[in-house]
Each structure stands twice: as C-alpha cells, then as structure tokens.
C-alpha cells in the first residue's frame, strides 16, 4: 500500500516525501515539474537511499490519474500540487482557478472510483483573510483577498462538502503559515523560479550574491518595529505535521482542520538580523513601500494540532536560517546545473 503525493517534487512535497520514506512508507509521486525539478528525485534518493515510484503527469489529467490508481495500490493521498504565487494569481486568475480547483476535483473523483477516501490537503493561513485578530484559530470564518487565496477557500469548501456527502471520507485540511528552511543535508530546499516573491528565499539569494539587497515592504505597520510580522515554520516541522495528519486520517472520519504554525510572530527585520547573525553573511536591505494586499501581523494559534495530533514545531528561527543558508550556499543556482 502506498501514499500518493501530488506535487511531491516541490518544496513542501519533497520534504514530506523524505519523512515518509524515512518512516518506511511506500510513496508514489505525481508531479508535472511546473514548479519543481526532476533533480529533486535524485536528491530524495541521496537522502533516504530510496527512489519513490514517479509519474510525470498533470493532476488535472483524469485519464493519467486513473492509470496511476490502476498501476499502484494507493491507500491515502497528500495533495500538494497547485499554483501558489499570490501576485501571479492576480495576473492569471483563470489559470489559478482551473488548475487548483480542477486538480482537487479530478483527484477526489478518481479517489472515489478506487475507494480511496483518506486525503491530506495543502491549505494556507491565507484563508483567514484580513478581518480577524491574531492568533488565528481554525474555527474562524474564511475569506480571501486574491485568486490564490480564493482557490484555497473554495477547495476547503469542496472537500468539506465531499465529507458531508459520504461519511467514509477522512479529510485533513492543513493551514500552513510561513514555511522556510531546508533539510539539514542541504540537498533539498526552496528553489523559486525567477525573482522570489517570498522573504526568506529573497534574503538567501541576497546573501549568496544573486540579488543586490532586500526590499523591506514597509516599516509603518502597527508592529513592534513597524515591519510585517509572520509565523515562520521550519519546512521539516511542516513535513512532520503531514505525517501526523496522515496518521490522524487513518483513525478519524470527517473533515479536520489544523493550523501548522509556531504560534510566534517574527518581523521582517528580526528575520533579516537573525539570518545575518546565524550565517555571518551580510544582507543589505532598504525600506520601501508596503506591498498591496499584505496584512501587518499573521500568526497561528497552534493548540489544536498539539491537542489532537501531538504535533508542534520543534525547530527554532536560528535553525531555519542556518538550514536555509546551507541549502543556498551549496546550491547557489538552486537545482539548475
Ligand atoms: C513575508 C513578510 C512581506 C518579500 C505568502 C502567501 C501565503 C503563503 C506564504 C502560500 C511580509 C515581507 C516579503 C520581500 C518583504 N504562500 N516581504 N520583502 O506574504 O506572509 O505569505 O507566502 O500558501 O499564502 O501570501 O509571505 O514571504 O511573501 O512575506 O518585506 O521581498 O515579508 O511584506 O510582511 P506572506 P512573504
């Protein structure tokens, strides 16, 4: 019996695959390499000594997905595959709705055909929108401020409705806060295509000399140092949260929702200064204008994940910076040769 990991060659997917393989689980990856690189499969084997079965397919392709379920004995699915860039989603809304919604709908249709009813879904703290006070709690209402966020709100709703329609389903919605860092080997890590949208890959590309300086998007927020505050979580802690979620899906029916965050807020300047302290690398920055759509402060109430799954973050901000730097300095051009 295998766990199917869609988007398993991506940043979060590959770290989760490593944890599953290290626990002796059989893993099948389906990925179309839209936002990942086939080099990741080699790196996963280098880390674990195992090479998971791999299908280069698009999850919206129903026939391709049916073939995978016919060839393999799938017991559960972790669904990462999806577009995730907020800014890009504003420019290309139809692509985002089609890809993110159809991949989830097609996946559920095929799972149902084969009687596979355990699903862990990659959601996001972005579904808390802009109208709640921190810390964000799972029972808060959801909303969005961009098409990417709406795809997560809509996919959560689709999956909740699937679970209501058939009580045999076990569905775990995981709301990620800000995943950063890399596996301690430095062999896998975050490798955004083009100029990074997110803060930590931008910092590490400045440190490695690929970019000149960090643009701090505003220092006039109502936060301790005026810069944006976020809940950063080490990618390996996040990956371990998926293993716990799979175990939960094995024992519980219905839809379960969990924040995967540390519960701590860190500002942009705190992260930059911590990175410089830990890595001894210079990271020049300039204070610029706010980025539209950003909220001042976002961090999790992570108690439900601990109470229900005995999961909590274990790695520190220093670990996140140290491991990011090991990956970036060992792979200055990411996975590209
Ligand atoms: C973090 C902080 C910025 C870049 C996004 C998505 C979210 C999730 C995680 C998918 C903010 C500031 C950033 C830069 C900066 N992705 N910043 N200069 O926006 O919290 O969350 O990624 O699920 O859905 O919205 O992450 O890393 O972009 O920004 O000052 O060059 O860093 O203003 O305060 P964000 P981020």
Substitution candidate for ligand 1 out of 84, 199, 206, 287 with most atoms within 8 A of CB: 199
Percentage of residues of the chain with pLDDT beyond 90: 98
Nearest CA to ligand 1 atom 10: 84
Which residues partner with 29 through β-bridges? 5, 54
114: phi then psi, degrees, rounded to nearest 5 = -105, 10
Substitution candidate for ligand 1 out of 90, 228, 233 with most atoms within 8 A of CB: 228
187 lines ligand 1 (CB under 6 A): no
308 lines ligand 1 (CB under 6 A): no
128 lines ligand 1 (CB under 6 A): no
Q: What is the reported pLDDT for 21?
A: 98
117 lines ligand 1 (CB under 6 A): no
- At 260-318, the pLDDT tens digits run 999 999 999 999 999 999 999 999 999 999 999 999 999 999 999 999 999 999 999 99
- Supply the DSSP symbol for 126: G
Nearest CA to ligand 1 atom 14: 199
Reading across the β-sheet that carries 118-124, which strands appear in turn?
53-55, 26-30, 2-6, 74-79, 118-124, 170-176, 254-260
Kindly give the number of the ligand 1 atom that is closest to the alpha carbon of 126: 24
Q: What is the reported pLDDT for 78?
A: 98
Q: What is the overall mean pLDDT for the chain? A: 97
How far the first Cα of the chain sits from its last, in Å, is 35
Q: What is the reported pLDDT for 80?
A: 98
Mean pLDDT for the stretch of residues 159-173: 98
Question: How far apart are the CA of 7 and the centre of ligand 1, in A?
Answer: 21
Q: What is the reported pLDDT for 332?
A: 96
Query: Which DSSP string do the residues of 191-234 spell out, in sequence order?
Result: --SSS-SSHHHHHHHHHTTSSS-EEEE-S-SSSTTSS-EE-EEE
| Catalytic status, residue 83 | no
Distances (CA, A) of 273 to 181, 233, 250, 318: 16, 17, 42, 10
SS3 259: strand
Q: What global pTM score does this model have? A: 0.98
199 lines ligand 1 (CB under 6 A): yes
Spatial separation of the C-alpha atoms in residues 278 and 321, rounded to whole Å: 7
- At 217-242, the pLDDT tens digits run 999 999 999 999 999 999 999 999 99
Q: Residue 199, CB half-sphere, CA atoms under 13 Å: how many?
A: 26
Question: How far apart are the CA of 310 and the centre of ligand 1, in A?
Answer: 28
- At 174-214, the pLDDT tens digits run 999 999 999 999 999 999 999 999 999 999 999 999 999 99
Determine which one of 11, 55, 83, 148 is catalytic: 148
145 lines ligand 1 (CB under 6 A): no
pLDDT category, 55, cuts 50, 70, 90? very high
Question: How far apart are the CA of 224 and the centre of ligand 1, in A?
Answer: 18
Q: What is the reported pLDDT for 36?
A: 92
275 lines ligand 1 (CB under 6 A): no
Q: What is the reported pLDDT for 156?
A: 98
Judged against a pLDDT cut of 80, whether residue 337 lies above it is answered with: no
Spatial separation of the C-alpha atoms in residues 223 and 270, rounded to whole Å: 12
């Amino acid at each position: 019996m295998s766990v199917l990991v869609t988007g398993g060659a991506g940043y979060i997917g590959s770290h989760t695959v490593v944890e599953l393989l290290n626990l002796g689980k059989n893993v099948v990856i389906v990925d179309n390499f839209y936002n990942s690189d086939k080099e990741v499969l080699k790196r996963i084997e280098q880390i674990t000594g195992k090479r998971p079965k791999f299908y280069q397919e698009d999850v919206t392709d129903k026939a391709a997905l049916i073939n995978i379920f016919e060839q393999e004995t799938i017991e559960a699915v972790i669904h990462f595959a999806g577009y995730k860039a907020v800014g890009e989603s504003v420019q290309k809304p139809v692509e985002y709705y089609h890809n993110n919604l159809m991949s989830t709908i097609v996946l559920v249709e095929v799972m149902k055909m084969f009687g596979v009813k355990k699903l862990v879904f990659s959601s996001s703290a972005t579904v808390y929108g802009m109208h709640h006070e921190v810390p964000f709690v799972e029972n808060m209402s959801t909303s969005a401020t961009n098409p990417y966020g709406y795809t997560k709100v809509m996919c959560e709703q689709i999956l909740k409705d699937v679970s209501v329609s058939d009580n045999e389903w076990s569905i775990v919605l995981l709301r990620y806060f800000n995943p950063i860092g890399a596996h301690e080997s430095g062999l896998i890590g975050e490798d955004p295509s083009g100029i990074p949208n997110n803060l930590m890959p931008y910092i590490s590309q400045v440190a490695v000399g690929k970019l000149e300086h960090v643009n701090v998007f505003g220092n006039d927020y109502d936060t301790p140092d005026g810069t944006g505050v976020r809940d950063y979580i080490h990618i390996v802690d996040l990956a371990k949260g998926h293993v716990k979620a799979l175990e939960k899906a094995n024992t519980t029916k219905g839809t379960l929702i969990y924040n995967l965050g540390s519960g701590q807020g860190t500002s942009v300047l705190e992260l930059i200064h911590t990175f410089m302290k830990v890595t001894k690398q210079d990271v020049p920055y300039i204070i610029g204008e706010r980025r539209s759509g950003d909220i001042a402060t976002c961090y999790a109430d992570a108690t439900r994940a601990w109470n229900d799954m005995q999961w909590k973050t274990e790695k520190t901000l220093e670990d996140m910076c140290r491991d990011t730097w090991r990956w970036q300095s060992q792979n200055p051009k990411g996975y590209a040769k």
